[in-house]
Structure 1
């Protein structure tokens, strides 16, 4: 069983030729509403990429609006247990405004809505679910007090705890010490290590940041590098996993797809290297498609590419 704790959003996606300059009005192209949110994306990726259906549950909050109804239906479509997905009266569901340019790169603005209502009490109400889990997955699009409480509980139960530290923010050392895997992208890794929000240059700089994160208590650190692959610091040292060559149309949810593939493979009993490669293959398929959850492949699609 995999339990994902985190955000659920409706993505409002517009294709644009390029990102607009400040104050500029720019005519775009196709517009779509697509289920998203880092938590829900990762839950869907875990569900679609696991060997068996019905192995994923989510703990989250939705608004009592039309988006909330649609987002819940989307989770159920992938056989995700929504028992602990709470509808919050008087609140709107989370929304993300996403612009995707001609190169497939994206820019995202978030309105958290009901995601901000996810509380430690909701985590306590799901104690029995967390106790049954093999892996617990979190991100940073819900309140930090809730994230800390969930990590402490999952760690106390001896679970594999995976944190995707996005959006990047400072994290206490005692929280980092309780993680089994920290999976940032290169910008998030640098910011966690106290550097500015810029991409890391070369493996030497990436490895230095990984060393800093490990010194804070993160034994296993996987830095996702997009088309450059994954730099992974595991028990036997730092390894590089090259990305599969692919033509990127839209990179939205590529990182979430990688995490879902990696976690699904771990939960299915695969070793770390095989799990990383599996996540890489899933992410490579996702960037050839438009949208968040609409881009996430199913396990059978990956098996067809072997």
Structure 2
């Protein structure tokens, strides 16, 4: 198995609105849609559909109709869901409002995503066959720690520190097991405890093999030791930014797996190339509504990537 994602899967309920309401305010929506979401599942779909990798997803759904739907959705993308376990209670749900400028607010109710403190034996076997392990923090920190310990020697651990607040509380435990840390600018500042990106990036880069900072319309910054590469963004007309960062992470992980390299051989140019593919996929995704629904296929990403040649 090339890419294994340990993470969350949610039922997204998305309302389109003219503007995000303020405290105590009610606004009328223009549409309401339901689709698969969750940072982990979004990244799994991106790694498979846009990145072309063999992908296994490890997580949990509840004993409800949403759990059945979410499992079927991942299976339809060709993702191995033998590590997606069913637990008592409801599946995770995300309530999302998207305004006319493609900005969003998201409330996540974890549900089943918060139930497992450790991997099951079946899940550990799946992680043990990974080339690239990709994790985030919409699941218990202890689950991420367990996964990092179970990956095989020579496998990459790519960690997206989102949401960043839980990472801050466990950074000392998590950082030693991470090869590539992916954060956006806000997350970089919070995790590093700095007020400007330059010092935040410098501080974080000393604690992992490689650092990737996604910067939206400004592209991405790759830092490996004292080497830095800036990756420009692709031009996109944004309709919905939900899941754009997840699309980047999934495709980035897929490109690492395709490279066949080991973490010990980390190279700034290799990571920059993976980031270019991630940026291309992300640019396409923001031009469409939804999270998983907006993920492009590999051919679309390759076509846009060729424009950078």
TM-score (norm 2): 0.91
SS, match of residue 259 in structure 2: coil
Post-superposition offset of 1:45: 0.3
- After TM superposition, give the deviation of residue 30 of structure 1 in Å: 1.0
Partner of 2:244: 254
The answer as to whether partners of 1:50 and 1:268 remain within 8 angstroms in 2 is no
2:224 aligned residue (234, 237, 260)? 234
1:19 aligned onto 2:20: yes
Give the structure 2 partner of residue 35 of structure 1. 36
Q: Which runs of no fewer than 5 residues in structure 2 stay unpaired?
A: 261-269
Query: Aligned partners of 1:81 and 1:186: how far apart in 2?
Result: 32
What is residue 139 of structure 2 aligned with on the other side?
Answer: 142
In 1, are the aligned partners of 2:219 and 2:231 still within 8 Å (CA)? yes
Displacement, 1:153?
2.3
**Unmatched 5+ stretches in structure 1:** none
Once the two structures are TM-superposed, the CA of residue 43 in structure 1 deviates from its matched residue by: 0.4
Query: Which segment drifts farther, 94-103 or 235-244?
Result: 235-244
Structure 2 distance, partners of 1:38, 1:69, is 18
Cα distance in 2 for partners of 1:303, 1:219 equals 28
Distance 2:108 2:80 in 1: 25
Name the structure 2 match of 1:167: 163
Note the alpha carbon deviations across 1:253-299, whole angstroms, 9 max, x for none. Answer: 10001111111111111822211100010000000000010011110
Q: Is the 8 A contact 1:61 1:87 kept in 2?
A: yes
TM-score by length of 1: 0.91
Cα distance in 2 for partners of 1:112, 1:127 equals: 22
Q: Using the TM superposition, give the Cα deviation of residue 125 of structure 1 relative to its aligned residue in structure 2, in angstroms.
A: 3.2
**Aligned match of 1:82:** 81
CA RMSD of aligned residues (A): 1.5
Aligned length: 292
Question: For residues 208-227 of structure 1, what are the structure 2 equivalents within 5 Å?
Answer: 208-215=199-206, 217-227=207-217
Report whether the alignment pairs 1:125 with 2:128: no
Alignment of structure 1 residues 1-306 onto 2, 5 Å: 1-51=2-52, 55-89=54-88, 91-122=89-120, 124-154=121-151, 157-169=153-165, 170=168, 171-195=170-194, 205-215=196-206, 217-235=207-225, 237-269=227-259, 271-305=270-304, 306=306
